[in-house]
Chain A
Amino acid sequence: MNGGVLKGSRTTYALVCLITLVSVFPLYYTIVMASHTNAEMAASTPPILPSLSFFDNMKKALELAPLNQGLVNSLIVSGTITFGTVALCTLAGFAFAKLRFRGANILLAICIATMMVPLQMGVIPLYMLMARLGLAGHLTAVVLPSLCTAFGVFFMRQYISSAVPDELIEAAFMDGASSLRVFWSVVVPAARPAMAVLAMLTFLTAWNDFFWPIIVLSTQNPTVQVSFQSLATGYAPQQSIIMAGTLYGTVPVLLVFALLGRQIVGGIMQGAVKG
């Protein structure tokens, strides 16, 4: 039983439209900012509509900064992180949730504990570790630390322990399945919605990550956030070019949202909490 209990009234529509407007307006205004010079935006009544210079500014942004390279690298990095996270964290989450083994609670507790400490300061020892491993400046250095976060494991563990009934798993084991088979045929289908949600969140977080990539990467091999750094040059940075470049780097995210929107929204709705 999905979907609305009641039909939406006019007030409902009005409210929902208002909320959509508020949610989308800053994105729209970014387009406006990307179409006008600093001076035009500084006028006492700032412009409210975009203009055709938007495309010029976009072109200039592409000349100034390696945005395309950044996009490709970010797709590689975010894609790998997402894939790895979903795969590894679902496996580990399954183990924590359904398989009994000594030390599970301690290990889980350590997992959770690391999530509660802000890891910003860890950037320095992490960089030195990467340098020792010869990975500094490589995309691998950005992928590895996020490859399976404690959050992912905990998220999947919670979901699997409540969404997959023990009876089902028992039955599969009694039928002689190996744990891997149980995982693949019983757990994964049931956990698919959560996996979709985890994928979406992980992709977004990896895409927007700035602090670690700026330390470990360079303009020669940038992710998209690092490539933005080259947009503000000289003593007179043009906000329009910076905004145009930023938008260019957000387009893939919007595309992913649009493509998976129905799926993911469905995914979240089917699965955040199962009865």
Chain B
Amino acid sequence: MTAVQQSDVIVRPRPARRTRTHLPGRRAAYGYILPFFLVFAAFSVYPWLDTAWVSLHDTRLSTYDQSSWIGLENYRNLLTNHFFWNAFRNTITIGIISTVPQLCMALGIAHLLNYRLRGRTFFRVAILMPYATSLAAATVIFAELFDPNLGLVNWALHTVHLPTVDWQGSKWPSQIAVSTIVTWRWTGYNALIYLAGMQTISTDLYEAAAMDGAGRWAQFRHVTLPGLRPTILFTIVVSTIGAAQLFGEPLLYHNGLPDGGTQGQYQTLGLLMYQQGWTNDRLGLASATAWTMFLIIVAAVGVNLWLSRRRERHERRPGGRRRHGVVTAGVPEVTAR
């Protein structure tokens, strides 16, 4: 088949010297996406829409066939529900505490692993181990570490004559403890992604910078970081979505109770939804929470993208260097936490 079909709008903006590209395959394209969409429509879109439908009803699993239509009442309930706002605030604070240091440490670890080290493949696999360890086992261990009376952390604080902390009961310490578990689990994964991005930065740039007299730190700031910008954006967006939906770690931190501590001090939106849907058997309310989380995530990702576009526009000054790597325009990733 030699026919080249007329294409529609061009994928990316191109410099004017090129003619329109001809990328054929319209009919073939539908064939390629069909298997995906069949599966997707039946098993993702359908439950997704059903959740929206349920959120407009007063539904309980025990009386599933007797649900009654209540319109937007569930959403109104959430807006005036202090449990919802508590979870919302907690999700933001835990999200920031668990994401920002994590990504910074991941950057640092990637930088370390970029050096020529003996056995570096072993190290690179080792930092992925947290991602492979069962979440239940890991949380048990961390909960023991943070036990107010018997835990290692308080014992260490005590030994250096610092006041011990109530890692379960108080608000900020418990959020820090939960964030620690999250950080432990995901830092290695993000570090490997950064490490990958680093491989695409040409050594010439480092040599040039070194010749200009830049030390290691300056090289990091002016060669490594700019080259990693698309990767950093990717991980920020991915972690935002993950942080917004966080529920596994805080659930197991309170021994499987979804209340986020005796005063809800670390109840996230994900936990609240779990509690409403499964513990309290209020499926309609939980579905409304799920869709509200959707709006929040869209807003958060939108803000992230807007901020990054602004920065890029600032840096696309005339005569500015072309970025290494390509702008990956926001790759939201839902990783099951």
Query: Footprint of B on A, CB under 8 Å?
Result: 1-9, 12-13, 15-16, 19-20, 22-24, 26-27, 29-30, 33, 44, 88-89, 91-92, 94-102, 104, 107, 110-126, 129, 144-145, 147-151, 153-155, 158, 161-162, 166, 169-170, 173-174, 176, 178-180, 183, 201, 204-205, 208-209, 243, 246, 249-250, 253-254, 257-258, 261-262, 265, 268-275
Contact = CB atoms under 8 A, between A and B. Distances in A.
Query: Can you list the 4 inter-chain pairs with the closest CB atoms, starting with the nearest?
Result: A122-B47, A4-B116, A162-B326, A272-B196
Most B CB atoms within 10 A — which of A13, A24, A100, A174? A100
8 contacts: A26-B130, A91-B32, A91-B35, A116-B297, A121-B290, A250-B132, A273-B230, A274-B325
Contact of A5 (B203, B287, B329): B203
Contacts of B116: 3-4, 6-8
Nearest to B333: A151
A119 B293 CA distance: 11
Interface in B300-322: 301
Interface of B is mostly: helix
B298 interface: yes
A125 B230 CA distance: 38
A119 B40 CA distance: 13
Nearest to B193: A272
Contacts of A243: 137
A115 B331 contact: no
Given A33-B140, A173-B4, 4 more contacts: A95-B28, A116-B241, A162-B325, A166-B23
B175 interface: no
B298 A116 contact: yes
Given A268-B192, A273-B231, A208 B135 contact: yes
A271 B129 contact: no
Interface in B127-149: 127-138, 140-142
B312 to A, nearest CB: 15
A83 to B, nearest CB: 13
B283 A121 contact: yes
A120 B273 contact: yes
Interface string B3-39: 0100111010000000001111110111011011101
Contacts of B193: 268, 272
A257 B132 contact: yes
Contacts of A179: 24-25, 28-29, 32
A255 B21 CA distance: 46
B1 interface: yes
Given A26-B137, A120-B290, A125 B126 contact: no
B125 A150 contact: no
Given A20-B126, A100-B7, A268-B195, A148 B133 contact: no
A253 B125 CA distance: 12
Contacts of B293: 116-118
Contacts of A107: 33, 37
Given A99-B26, A246-B134, A119 B203 contact: no
A182 B329 CA distance: 25
Contacts of B231: 272-273
A24 B245 contact: no
B87 to A, nearest CB: 13
A261 B124 CA distance: 8
A7 B44 contact: no
Most chain B CB neighbours (cut-off 10 Å) among A7, A111, A155, A169? A111
Contacts of A150: 40, 44, 334
Interface stretch (B71-79, B106-114, B165-173): B106-114
B277 A5 contact: no
A205 B196 contact: no
B98 to A, nearest CB: 16
B332 to A, nearest CB: 6
B210 to A, nearest CB: 9
Given A254-B132, A272-B196, A119 B44 contact: yes
A216 to B, nearest CB: 12
A115 B46 CA distance: 13
B36 A8 contact: no
Given A30-B133, A270-B199, A151 B206 contact: no
B217 interface: no
Given A12-B117, A100-B7, A129 B42 contact: yes
Interface in B32-59: 32-33, 35-37, 39-40, 42-48, 50-51, 54
